[in-house]
Amino acid sequence: MRGGRGLAAVALVVAGGVALIGSATADWVTATRTVDIGEVPVPETRALEGTAFAPLAVVWGVLATVSGIALAAVRGRLRRLVGLVTLLVGVAAGAGIARGTVAALGLDAAIAAGPGVGALGVVAVLGGGALAARGDPAPRLSSRFDLGPDEDGEPGDEWALAGGDDEERAIEDRDDPESGTGPGSADEPPGGAEADEGGRG
């Protein structure tokens, strides 16, 4: 494959989408309180997931993942358009993650890993979208798998790959009387090989 930056854009956007989806199910805050069980105080830890702070994180993650897959399949202006859409998804996700983080910080609880995972997802989506929007090449197979044009400028075919110039030149020389190798050439006596043998006898 070639187009390293194109592959990087796809990988960043897809990874960012997965991270946003994961942030929705990860714990955002944890709080420990003490409850009495049979007059025995027992510490209890409770946690709130990302759905309580950024309920649209799953939607943003799915949109980013779909955009990343689309970036691997399109080129040219359409690829830049998908990159711009990806940037918009990243901006919306960033605003939502930021609001949720502020809300989590306002609670009397410890911040868990959820906001960090969501922030990383936003950065990855924005980075991949920016790479795609600036028109970086889409990933494609190496040029050795391409069928180049023939002498007339027409696209080549698989026969050109199978044969090659040496084989074509050998066929032409065999049929060309002036090449000195085919039938009727100057190196062959009149009448062919049988006449030559008769003259020797």
- pLDDT tier at 158, thresholds 50, 70, 90: very low
Q: How confident is the model at residue 55 (pLDDT cuts 50, 70, 90)?
A: very high
Interatomic CA distance for residues 86 and 80, integer angstroms: 10
Q: What is the pLDDT of residues 123-141, one digit of tens each?
A: 999 999 999 998 745 455 4
Residues 6 or more apart whose CB falls under 8 angstroms from that of 139 comprise 1, 2, 3, 6, 7, 10, 72
> What is the structure's pLDDT at 145?
44
Residue 1, pLDDT score:
35
> What's the pLDDT band for 97 if we cut at 50, 70, 90?
very high
> For 1-48, what is each residue's pLDDT tens digit?
345 778 899 999 999 999 999 999 999 999 877 766 777 777 777 888
Are 6 and 136 in contact by the 8 Å Cβ rule? The answer is yes
